[in-house]
Amino acid sequence: MSQTGANPQQLSLATRLLGLIAGGILTLLSVIFGFVQDQPVQSIILYALATMALFFWAWKFILPHFLVEREHAEDTHGPGPFRRIWIDYRPSLIGLALIVLAFFILAASIDGFLNGWNVLSLIILLAIIVATRTIGPLFETNRSAFIGIMVLIGLFSVGAMNIEGFSSGWNIKSMLLFASFLGLASVGQTLVALLGGLDLSIPFVIGAANVGLLYLISLGVPPWLAFCIVLTIGALLGVINGLLSYRLQGQALIVTLGTGFAISGGVQIITSIGTAYGGNVFGTVPGWLSNLAAMNGKTFGIPVPAAIFIWALTALILVVGLRVTVYGRYLYALGVNRISAKRVMISELKYWVMAYTVSGFFSALTGALLLGWSGGGFIGVGEQYLFLTLAAVVVGGTSLLGGHGGYGFTVIGVLVLQVLSSFLVGIGLDYEWQQFIYGLLILPMVALYARSPHIRTQI
């Protein structure tokens, strides 16, 4: 996870031997447990190998970070260890104490609050906070991803313990499906944010594609052709967005909002000319499109809707592409410092327009998939994505100022938001409470890793 961190040092021989022995013991333990539980021999071998590989990998790549930090810490002679811990982690310790206090107050005031599950949830919550404060800083560049994964694990385990059916296959499938809609919608937002822009036209393009596709199909255009046309138009709208906002980069937020309004208004006018029902389109969605995105959809016989695979493939291509290809590296170069990027002949206009084009394309794709999911066109289908795409990008850890982050981070952000929303639905909170909690949670999550430096350090 953190190959790009502070350069990992070579482990000493003793440490390596120790790791070898520990790994061996662990593998032996797993083999013994396997035989005790009467597992088939093949799976015992498989699991033992997997355990050993995972352990050695972790030993080799994660341990050096700790060692580097520890050596550094030992150099400073000063206050005693407890005193130093107090100085280093003062806010977190106060926060921990407050959380524990709040828990005891709740336990004292609400009958039946003090049960095993809640105590376990508290311990997990505390463990996440402790882990993010102590281990988190060691992962220098990917701290937000680490925190995101910790939160994800914590939320999921708490949800699985407290809510019946939370970790069932059906629920996981539905979470993944909704996450893939949000994830596809956030592709463009991530790329644009890497350049330091914002795209608020996403929800409007989603709604417009949703209505427009059904309108084209009801006109008699072959569904596959209509699908392609909608995606093309989405990409074209992205080009227009990019060209318009290129010279107005400080105000990309408001330019894209304006184009979004215009797009959704225009599409609705086109689709409602001649009908008495403004804004509503009626028609039948072709079977393959529903199969692509509906909950009971199948992909080559596997009972998982294809939208999830589309998302996974997109995520893979983007994560690898941003890391490896020239396009990806130039995108980061422009995001970090566009003047120096221009000096090495990177065309800013080209990348800016490209990012918005990708954004338009994936918004249209999301809109089309949402049509397959719901089976009916509705212009407001994308409304919630106005702030959710932004929240996913921000929670994942991509900086809105550009140059730092990536689509992998957004995937984590999307999953966190989705598991959180499932969790909130599971414990019986209404939509409005969910939104309230979303709002309150974004702030501390960002505050954990994306605080800007004090002004006095920037002079």
Partner 1 sequence: MKIAEIKDPVAVETETVETPRSTAGRSDPSMIVPITLFYVLMIFAVIRSPSLVSASGIGSAVIVATPLILATYALMASVISGRGTVDLSIGPLIGFINVTLVQLVTAGYFTNPFAFFGLAFLLGAAYQLIFALIVVYVRVQPIIVSLSGFLALSGINLVILPRPGGMAPEWMATWGLGTTVFSPVFWLLVIATLAWVLFTRTAFYTHLRLMGSDERAAYTSGVPIAIVRIGAHIISGLFAALAAITFTALISSGDPSQGTTYTLIAVTALVLGGASLAGGRASVFGCALGALNLYLITFVLATFNFGAVQSFVTDLAYGTILVISLLLTLVLPLIQRYARNFSPLLYFVALGVVVLGVVLHATHDYGAVSDAYVVPPFPGPLDVVGTMRGIFETGALDPQTEALRTAARPLIWGVVILVLLAGLARVAVTEGKTRDVGPLVFLVIGLIVLVTAYSISQSDGFSFGIGSDAPHEEGKP
Quick one: which segment of 80-88, 125-133, 181-189, 268-276 binds partner 1 (CB under 8 A)?
268-276
Binding of partner 1 by 410 (CB under 8 A)? no
- Residue from 217, 391, 415, 417 that binds partner 1 (CB under 8 A)? 391
Instruction: Rule CB under 8 A: say whether 77 interacts with partner 1.
Output: no
Give the shortest CB-245-to-partner 1 separation in angstroms: 9
- 3-state secondary structure at position 60: helix
Only segment of 12-20, 62-70, 226-234, 400-408 that touches partner 1 (CB under 8 A): 400-408
Chain positions 100 to 129 lying near partner 1, rule: CB under 8 A, are: none
Among 298, 318, 320, smallest CA distance to 307 is for 298
Looking at residue 138, what DSSP letter applies?
G
Quote the CA–CA distance of 359 and 375 in Å, as a whole number: 24
CA distance 273 to 304: 38
Q: How far is CA 289 from each of CA 87, 101, 297, 298, 429, rounded to the nearest angstrom?
A: 58, 52, 9, 11, 32
Dihedral sign, Cα of residue 333, residue 334, residue 340, residue 343: positive
End-to-end CA distance of the chain: 34
By CB under 8 A, tell whether 343 contacts partner 1: no
Among 79, 165, 222, 265, binds partner 1 (CB under 8 A): 265
The rounded distance, in Å, linking the Cα atoms of 459 and 457 is 6
Nearest to 280 by CA among 162, 138, 378: 378
Least Cβ distance, residue 445 to partner 1 (angstroms): 10
Contact residue for partner 1 among 33, 57, 66, 261 (CB under 8 A): 261
Q: Check binding of 239 to partner 1 (CB under 8 A).
A: no
Decide: is 455 part of the binding site for partner 1 (CB under 8 A): yes
Q: Binding segment for partner 1 among 62-70, 297-305, 325-333, 395-403 (CB under 8 A)? A: 395-403
Minimum distance, C-beta of residue 351 to partner 1, in the bound complex (Å): 14
- Residue with smaller CB distance to partner 1, 292 or 381: 381
Structure tokens of 62?
């994660």
Binders of partner 1 among residues 177 to 196 (CB under 8 A) are 196
- In the complex, minimum distance from the CB of residue 105 to partner 1, in angstroms, rounded to a whole number: 22
One-letter amino acid for residue 307 of the chain? A
Residues 423, 443: Cα–Cα separation, whole Å: 19
> Given the complex with partner 1, which of 206 and 307 has the nearer CB atom?
206
**Which position among 249, 291, 299, 374 is part of the footprint of partner 1 (CB under 8 A)?**
249
Our CB check for partner 1 shows the closer of 82 and 277 to be: 277
Geometric angle at alpha carbon 62, from 61 and 67, rounded to 5°: 110
Binding residue (CB under 8 A) for partner 1 from 90, 247, 298, 350: 247
Task: Please state the separation of Cα 338 from the chain's center in Å.
Answer: 26
Site for partner 1 (CB under 8 A): which residue of 132, 259, 290, 389?
259
Report how far residue 276's alpha carbon sits from residue 250's, in angstroms, rounded to the nearest whole number.
41
> What is the token pair recorded at 182?
């949000």
H helix and E strand count, the chain = 19, 0
Nearer to partner 1, 167 or 337 (CB): 337
Q: How far is the CB of 69 from partner 1 (least distance, A)?
A: 24
Contact 427, 415 (CB under 8 A): no
Using rule CB under 8 A, residue 428 touches partner 1 = no
Span from 146-154, 165-173, 224-232, 251-259 in contact with partner 1 (CB under 8 A) = 251-259
- Number of other CB atoms surrounding residue 302 within 10 Å: 11
443 binds partner 1 (CB under 8 A): yes
What distance in Å separates the CA atoms of residue 395 and residue 144, rounded to the nearest whole number?
A: 8
Cα 172 to Cα 296, 305, 400, 412, 423: the distances in Å are 13, 12, 30, 15, 12
CA gap 364, 260 in Å, rounded: 13
Report the candidate in 286, 124, 197 with the shortest Cα–Cα distance to residue 116.
124
Nearer to partner 1, 196 or 305 (CB): 196
State the binding string over 130-169 for partner 1 (x if CB under 8 A, else -): ----------------------------------------
Please identify which residue in 262, 304, 312, 333 interacts with partner 1, judged by CB under 8 A.
262
Contacts with partner 1, 196-215, as mask; x by CB under 8 A: x-------------------
Q: Which stretch binds partner 1 (CB under 8 A): 20-28, 159-167, 226-234, 276-284?
A: 276-284
- What tokens appear for 136 in the block? 């988190």
User: 84 vs 247, which CB is nearer to partner 1?
Assistant: 247
Binding site for partner 1 (CB under 8 A): 196, 244, 247-251, 253-255, 257-266, 268-269, 272-279, 336-339, 387, 390-391, 394, 400-403, 431-440, 442-443, 446-447, 450-456, 458-459
